[in-house]
Chains A and B, each alone.
Chain A
Amino acid sequence: MSDSRQHVRPEKETSGELSPEFATAPMGLAREPLITGYRGLEWISDEATRFNEGGAPSWWRAGLLVALSLLVLGVVIVAYLVTTGVGVWGVSHPVMWGWATINFVWWIGIGHAGTLISAILFLLRQQWRTAVNRVAEAMTIFAVLCAALFPIIHVGRVWYIWWLLPIPTSNAVWPQFHSPLMWDVFAIGTYLTVSILFWYLGLMPDLALMRDRARRPVSRFFYGLLCLGWTGSQRQWHHYEKAYLIIAGLATALVVSVHSIVALDFAATQLPGWHSTIFPPYFVAGAMFSGFGMVLTLIIPIRSLCGLENLITKRHIDLICKVTLATGSIVAYAFVVEACHAWFGGKPYERFMIWNRVVGPYWWAFFVAVACNFLVPQAFWFRKVRLNLRAVWVLSILINVGMWMERFVIVVGSLHRDFVPSNWSYYRPTWVDVCTFAGSFGLFFTFFLLFLRYLPVVAVSELKSIASACVWGCSSTSDGPDTRR
């Protein structure tokens, strides 16, 4: 990493007027810069923390109000659920898993993009990650929290959920290690822990920045507390970067493992539509796809609302769109492969399941899923679309809807017509299902809005590390640390 990282506290004198060379960077053959309108390192700090340091804007207050209301609704609904029974949901016989499971898989999928952007792109030295990784990581943590909520509350006796933990001394019984749900406990637990660590580690220099910039003693105290005495010494940077690299390595494995294990929840059963070896890679790809979709959904409004247009540029959006297209294609491929398996496998139950997806009672869910996951990302082939932020935002929401529907198709679409025809039934959610889902959004956005306001939204110190590269990148096409692709 470059030395500029050390300049946690930029010198006052460099702020203000820009040197003309920065203002008029030769565009020509140059790649688009990752930071536009670069005016020096302190300018980056100013830009990045502007939203934290100014007064809270009204949209933020309104948003928080809405999110809090949803959160309160969620709390009330969960209380209702626990006191009354999971029967308040639409889960029935034979569809014993409904929206809760769908939401769980959906949220956990969203929780993928953050670590992917942070860890994998970090290892791959994709510098564009620096502007969006903080948001994505925060999104990950909050999404995983939402995701973890659902398997907990969906059980019949939530007060005994701790029986899933391996605490033999107090339980006298081990959990059943054959069960994929058991693996979920470990996978999600680990993923959440590592994601938080990774996020927090990345935050530390920026927290120190916040501490140093803080005007009020209270803020200074808390930021100081949180940054664990970060001074930005060479020694600290040395350790920091080592740690960051190690955790990035760990997190990369987890990105793959956590959703593979969630996929095993389904693949380890023998239900047609679940029992498929393609599920782990399919789910991981789907998770990245939906995660990037959600990153787009969040980042596009944030960059304008928080005034981060210079740091999170259209180029970032463009790149995210490309990743989304790539992962979306893998998902589409898995769709096709699944159908081919059913076709060539010659298993009548599998064939029926695929056919039932297309023309069965839930055909609409299937078509929404196909349209949103297969057709919608095709628009990202076009640069014009990728650079049209409104369009991207709408498409990203469609991708989120599509991925939710895709999980619906898998969970409900497979369960409602299984082996023995007498069991066949139809699943319908209740208002409680809807409110629980809404409540999880409340949880997510409450945390997310608080994050936006109180923590640096972009990784300031990392941005600074590419700032010089950006300057160079503006003038040259091939040299410099910006080794994109």
Chain B
Amino acid sequence: MKVVPEESLPTGDGMPCSGLGHGLGHVGGVCSSDGQYETPDPVTRREFMRVMSASLLLGGIGLSGCRRPVEKAVPFSRLPEGYLHGVPEYFATSMPFRETAIPLLVKSYEGRPIKIEANVEHPDKPSNGDDEAGRIGTTHHAQAAILSLYDPDRATRFTYKGVAVSREEAMSMLKQTGVKFAGLNGKGLSFLLERSGSPSRARLLRIARERFPEARFFVHEPVDFDVHRKAATLLFGVPVRPVYRLEHARRILSIDCDFLGMEEDAHRMIAGFARGRNPRLPRHTMNRVYMVESLFTLTGANADHRLSIPPSRIVLMTMLLFGELGRQIGWARLGSESAGLESALMGRIAGLPDALRGWATACVEDLVEAGSGAVVLAGHRQPVLVHMLAHTMNVVLGSIDHAVKYIEWPESEESPITELAAELNRGGVDTLVILGGNPVYSAPADLDWARTQRKAGTVIRLGEYEDETFPVCDLHLPRAHFLESWGDGVTGDGTVVPVQPLIAPLFGGLTELEVLARLCGLATTNPYDIVRDTLRGIVTEGDFEARWHKFLRDGYLEDSSSKSAGSVKPDLRRIAEAVRSVNPAPEHSEGRGTYEVVIAPDYRLDDGRHANNGWLQELPDPITKITWDNVIVVGPRTAAQLNLRMPSGAMGDYSVPVVRVDVNGRSIDGPVWVLPGVAENTIGLSLGYGRSAAGRVGNGVGYNAYSVRVSKALFIAGGAAIAKTDRMHSVACTQWQSSSEGRAVVREAAHEEYLAKAKLAKGSIVGGSQAKGALYQNPLDRLAETASYQWGMAIDLSLCVGCGACIVACQSENNVPVVGKAEVLRRREMHWMRVDRYYVESLEAARVVWQPMLCQHCEAAPCESVCPVNATSHNDEGLNVMAYNRCVGTRYCSNNCPFKVRRFNYFDYHRRALSGPGIKGQNSSSIARTDFLRWLTRMGPEARPKSELDMLRLLMNPDVTVRMRGVMEKCTFCVQRIEQAKTAGKTRAVSAGGATVPDGAFQTACQQACPAGAIVFGNIKTPRSRVSEAMADPRAYRVLEHLNLRQRVAYLARITNPNPRMLDKSSAETNTPMLDVIRSDGNHEQPQLR
């Protein structure tokens, strides 16, 4: 992609008009001769088309040609070379996410990005050589990012002291600030940054340090993963950080590390984990996961053995595990200093109960047995000591360069925000430049950030939203979304990846690089050129232009991953020191209570950055299945102590008690949720909610856990008290039913059993099934014989970790609306794909299985026979197709669907205003009333302001009908992708003859997004296709097979891998498979969760 070189543009007041957006703005004539920039607020259709046509031109010519910088933008009347109307284009980019980036491929239609996919060509993907090339997917956050791009609530204007100013004025203020502090050597200038792995930002920061030698740099990341690097660096004495390659791990011990969920690079971790988890692997080297944690995380739910202990015990437990390792392999092998460490450790862990010791012994035995195939991970919540112990265990076990490697990573030169607070309080900050982040919301509560920040003379801030921090800023610059920005980043292994714009900034936002460059007074302020310059520094050999273009095309820089640090040697003395300084007793003395609090980022909103994203707000939490809220989680015993009576959602009571948690001298009220699996005496709070200025979607949702979070206890705090209040709060949960009621909808077996028995599920189902005892031949069977394709899907429950990326991917691909909390309370969420969660055995065992549930495309579909108007019918390729236009909405099909995967559009959800009462309100009728009043007053269904609707229209996938209300909808197996692939196949095959689509030529949206590769889709008519092979697996079964529906979706039974030596009472039932069709007679007396 190319941008307009700013120098070539005439400017009014001599201020360089920079950036893609502005360049385009100029082309369109918005930048008038006097330099006034009219911010397009809100974006009108006309405005959009104007910007878009220019952007298209740039995109089209820039990417297909990449020959020369475009100097003039002309209207999109001449077709750029290689561009075809109606054919989507894909651009490689990446999503910066704290220090690392997720490599992406973004689908763009006529210049507007509409779908984010994984960049499967990225080299960092799990592959251990015994299968075809490895794969990676994306996370739910990456999938949802496209919605944030079109968020009309983003910052759209430049403001100074709250008043809109022109872009030029803002730019001139930036420049003046830079000039002023260059003169002062940067004295009084402070920067508050976010974590970033961008090489360009690092380069610009180096320049900034040179220009402002006395300026200070701080970093604020509410959930900081830097501890991984910090601990490794401290332990090994060289600047390194660990990278995990879980595909090489056979035994994984995770110490509070939610590597499948909320740790860094989850998409990569899940991919590696799933690769090692696959029971189909020939060597049966299936991994086994041990988890020690306090909350009930995604990783814990997927673990084979899980130890749930209060957070204060985790440090001791780690020491115990380490001590056990030392004992089993002999302390002497740890090195000369091990004696000191041994004595220090043994003193600490002497008093631990036998149950923990037994667990540790068995676990460590297993790890030792696996040797280099074992890996120990520590979570970001844990102190440095735990990390150091984990790293040392890896070294001792020999897993370095197998499942974990240490790569060189620059040390963080920035100071923490607490120091900035001290500096501000001292009055040492004249100008504070905040680049990203939202410190007023997310800074530790004891810093009183809103007031502290005001102590700076001037605050300049680059922010994506006019959020909580906005009112205490002087100069506020809108930040461009990453899909509108030029930039760069690194993936977890250090590979440099580009951040390419797919569209001109919709609201004229700036990038971080641009702001830094302007402050530094650089001649090059165009982020495109900045990135090129950075890359010039990295790419030292070969033809730069060629490599640059390859970099952009591939979406990564070849061979740029960080160097492995090679062999590392732990400094045991440091550990011993740290062990000695640990206070073994839980820190209960501080507060007035005896509970411990764990503060974790929310699975959906992370630290709050995604709060205004409706897709993520409505994505059910994988464990609790709660949407539109965060809850205070406690374990069942704690709940019993508190005498908490949880409602039974089954009886239509969706309100839970509100509790007050007192911790760190502060208190917070929030709805309580009893979650089996949460450690005793532990209270879990989640960050990211309770926003007051997130935007219309995110405001006022949930409670704000930051308000009790202090800098001394960012993640774990003792001395907490919890008390019930009189209030109740309605919680929109998409699945109240916790147990599968003995119904074999999900099937599971332990690994031993899988190896022992050839067939777990009842019969293999390859090649379509014969109807048992059918009196009449299904006429569609004849059609199926002649058709080239018979589509089918197999979902491997062993691999599915329940992350939910597929849900968001489906929502994005298929224009699935957000319905809002009130409607979720009515169970009217529209997700075509859902992930059902069931507790296995008992609630106390806290083991969970997931089952992605989507339209099963039954060959004998019950929905089809009852539709009175033929709106849903079968095609000859075995798809259960839906003609939305024909549907009158009797909803009969849904009633007859045994899986209830059909979704009805009760209201025009797409047309509802973001600010309307429907999104967060709890009263559905109030929304309806509002809709009705709008209809009355406007005599039209346009409940949503036009500007919002226009933005929404940009988001929509043009390949998929946007359904109106009153219409039933459901998963189509991404029929649009099937048809595109067929068209492409035919086009290719005109000369070649056969026009069949090769296996794997395209993927459904859920399949593409799945980081675990649990979903396989393809032609079941080809016996060698991956889906046919999956269906031939002895684990393959169909849900509710006795109904003889002959679904096209097969599930592969979940295989767990418990340690046979740890089959104690808690996991004894683990081995009881749920393989028979029905185990019990629909026993309703299964324990109810709530």
The interface of chain A, by Cβ under 8 A from chain B, is 80, 83-88, 90-94, 96-97, 151, 154-158, 160-161, 163-164, 173-176, 178-182, 185, 265, 268-271, 348-349, 351-352, 355-356, 359-361, 415, 418-428, 430-432
Contacts beyond the supplied A178-B865, A179-B892, A269-B862: 8 A-B pairs with Cβ under 8 Å = A93-B829, A93-B900, A155-B889, A164-B869, A175-B868, A419-B898, A424-B650, A430-B925
**Min distance, Cβ A213 to any Cβ of chain B, angstroms:** 48
CA distance in complex: A271, B903 (Å) = 17
CA distance in complex: A154, B853 (Å) = 27
28 CB-based A-B contacts, threshold 8 Å: A86-B906, A86-B966, A87-B907, A87-B924, A87-B928, A87-B965, A88-B928, A93-B900, A93-B904, A154-B890, A156-B891, A156-B906, A173-B886, A176-B868, A176-B869, A179-B865, A180-B866, A181-B868, A270-B896, A349-B743, A356-B1084, A361-B651, A415-B895, A418-B900, A419-B1040, A426-B650, A431-B925, A432-B928
Chain B minimum-CB-distance residue to A361: B651
Which residue of the partner chain, among A174, A349, A422, contacts B837 with CB atoms under 8 Å?
Answer: A422
B1084 near A163 (CB under 8 angstroms)? no
CA distance in complex: A265, B899 (Å) = 19
CA distance in complex: A468, B837 (Å) = 75
| Also in contact, A420 and B1039, with CB within 8 A (given A156-B905, A178-B866, A355-B1082) | yes
Residues from 838 to 863 in B contacting A, C-beta threshold 8 Å: 838, 851, 853, 862
What's the dominant secondary structure at chain B's contact region? Answer: loop
A348 near B1082 (CB under 8 angstroms)? yes
CA distance in complex: A366, B379 (Å) = 52
| Also in contact, A179 and B866, with CB within 8 A (given A84-B935, A431-B925) | yes
**Min distance, Cβ B453 to any Cβ of chain A, angstroms:** 44
CA distance in complex: A175, B887 (Å) = 11
CA distance in complex: A297, B151 (Å) = 59
| Also in contact, A84 and B928, with CB within 8 A (given A93-B827, A421-B741, A422-B837) | yes
B906 near A420 (CB under 8 angstroms)? no
Contacts of A432 in B (CB 8 A): 925, 928
**Min distance, Cβ A73 to any Cβ of chain B, angstroms:** 15
| Also in contact, A175 and B869, with CB within 8 A (given A84-B928, A84-B935, A421-B740) | yes
B889 near A156 (CB under 8 angstroms)? yes
CA distance in complex: A450, B870 (Å) = 41
CA distance in complex: A19, B1081 (Å) = 74
Contacts of B887 in A (CB 8 A): 156-157
| Also in contact, A97 and B891, with CB within 8 A (given A92-B828, A156-B904) | yes
Let me know if B931 is at the binding interface, CB within 8 A. yes
Chain B minimum-CB-distance residue to A419: B898
B870 near A173 (CB under 8 angstroms)? yes
Let me know if B181 is at the binding interface, CB within 8 A. no
Residues from 872 to 897 in B contacting A, C-beta threshold 8 Å: 886-892, 894-896
A422 near B931 (CB under 8 angstroms)? no
**Min distance, Cβ B1077 to any Cβ of chain A, angstroms:** 9
A92, A96, A180, A348: most-surrounded residue (chain B CB, <10 A) = A96
Contacts of A80 in B (CB 8 A): 928, 932
Contacts of B739 in A (CB 8 A): 421
Taken residue by residue from 645 to 670, chain B's Cβ proximity to chain A (1 for < 8 Å, 0 otherwise) reads as 00001111000000000000000000
Residues from 735 to 753 in B contacting A, C-beta threshold 8 Å: 735-737, 739-743, 745
CA distance in complex: A361, B932 (Å) = 33
A419 near B1084 (CB under 8 angstroms)? no
**Min distance, Cβ B860 to any Cβ of chain A, angstroms:** 10
A85 near B928 (CB under 8 angstroms)? yes
Contacts of A352 in B (CB 8 A): 741, 1081-1082, 1084
| Also in contact, A156 and B892, with CB within 8 A (given A87-B924, A432-B925) | no
CA distance in complex: A182, B870 (Å) = 11
Contacts of B649 in A (CB 8 A): 425-426
Contacts of B741 in A (CB 8 A): 352, 421
Let me know if B4 is at the binding interface, CB within 8 A. no
A176 near B870 (CB under 8 angstroms)? yes
**Min distance, Cβ A123 to any Cβ of chain B, angstroms:** 33
B867 near A176 (CB under 8 angstroms)? yes
Let me know if B1036 is at the binding interface, CB within 8 A. no
| Also in contact, A84 and B650, with CB within 8 A (given A92-B826, A156-B889) | no
B740, B890, B898, B1040: most-surrounded residue (chain A CB, <10 A) = B890
CA distance in complex: A356, B741 (Å) = 12
B853 near A422 (CB under 8 angstroms)? yes
Contacts of B886 in A (CB 8 A): 163, 173
Let me know if B683 is at the binding interface, CB within 8 A. no
Give the total of B residues in contact with A, Cβ under 8 Å: 70
B898 near A270 (CB under 8 angstroms)? yes
Which residue of the partner chain, among A85, A356, A419, A431, contacts B907 with CB atoms under 8 Å?
Answer: A85
Chain A minimum-CB-distance residue to B935: A83
Contacts of A179 in B (CB 8 A): 865-868, 892
Contacts of A420 in B (CB 8 A): 743, 745, 836, 853, 898-900, 1039-1040
CA distance in complex: A310, B899 (Å) = 59
**Min distance, Cβ A335 to any Cβ of chain B, angstroms:** 20
**Min distance, Cβ B518 to any Cβ of chain A, angstroms:** 50
CA distance in complex: A419, B746 (Å) = 12
**Min distance, Cβ A432 to any Cβ of chain B, angstroms:** 7
B828, B889, B908: most-surrounded residue (chain A CB, <10 A) = B889
A422 near B836 (CB under 8 angstroms)? yes
Chain B minimum-CB-distance residue to A174: B870
| Also in contact, A92 and B827, with CB within 8 A (given A269-B866, A423-B900, A426-B650) | yes
Contacts of B826 in A (CB 8 A): 87, 90, 92-93
Chain B minimum-CB-distance residue to A177: B868
B736 near A269 (CB under 8 angstroms)? no
Which residue of the partner chain, among A88, A94, A269, contacts B900 with CB atoms under 8 Å?
Answer: A94
B652 near A426 (CB under 8 angstroms)? yes
Let me know if B1080 is at the binding interface, CB within 8 A. yes
Taken residue by residue from 1073 to 1090, chain B's Cβ proximity to chain A (1 for < 8 Å, 0 otherwise) reads as 000001011101000000
| Also in contact, A156 and B965, with CB within 8 A (given A85-B931, A419-B1040, A420-B899) | yes
Residues from 281 to 302 in B contacting A, C-beta threshold 8 Å: none
Contacts of B1080 in A (CB 8 A): 348
CA distance in complex: A163, B887 (Å) = 9
| Also in contact, A94 and B894, with CB within 8 A (given A155-B889, A180-B866, A422-B837) | yes
CA distance in complex: A311, B546 (Å) = 104
CA distance in complex: A87, B736 (Å) = 21
Contacts of B388 in A (CB 8 A): none
CA distance in complex: A272, B580 (Å) = 65
Let me know if B968 is at the binding interface, CB within 8 A. yes
CA distance in complex: A158, B887 (Å) = 11
B888 near A157 (CB under 8 angstroms)? yes
Residues from 896 to 943 in B contacting A, C-beta threshold 8 Å: 896, 898-900, 903-908, 924-925, 928, 931-932, 935-936
**Min distance, Cβ B1034 to any Cβ of chain A, angstroms:** 23
Chain A minimum-CB-distance residue to B862: A270
Let me know if B1043 is at the binding interface, CB within 8 A. yes
Contacts of A415 in B (CB 8 A): 895
Contacts of B652 in A (CB 8 A): 361, 426-428
Chain A minimum-CB-distance residue to B1082: A352
B896 near A157 (CB under 8 angstroms)? no
The 6 closest A-B pairs by CB, nearest first: A156-B889, A156-B966, A87-B906, A352-B1082, A426-B652, A422-B836
A355 near B837 (CB under 8 angstroms)? no
Taken residue by residue from 731 to 769, chain B's Cβ proximity to chain A (1 for < 8 Å, 0 otherwise) reads as 000011101111101000000000000000000000000
B931 near A163 (CB under 8 angstroms)? no
A156 near B888 (CB under 8 angstroms)? yes
CA distance in complex: A418, B1039 (Å) = 13
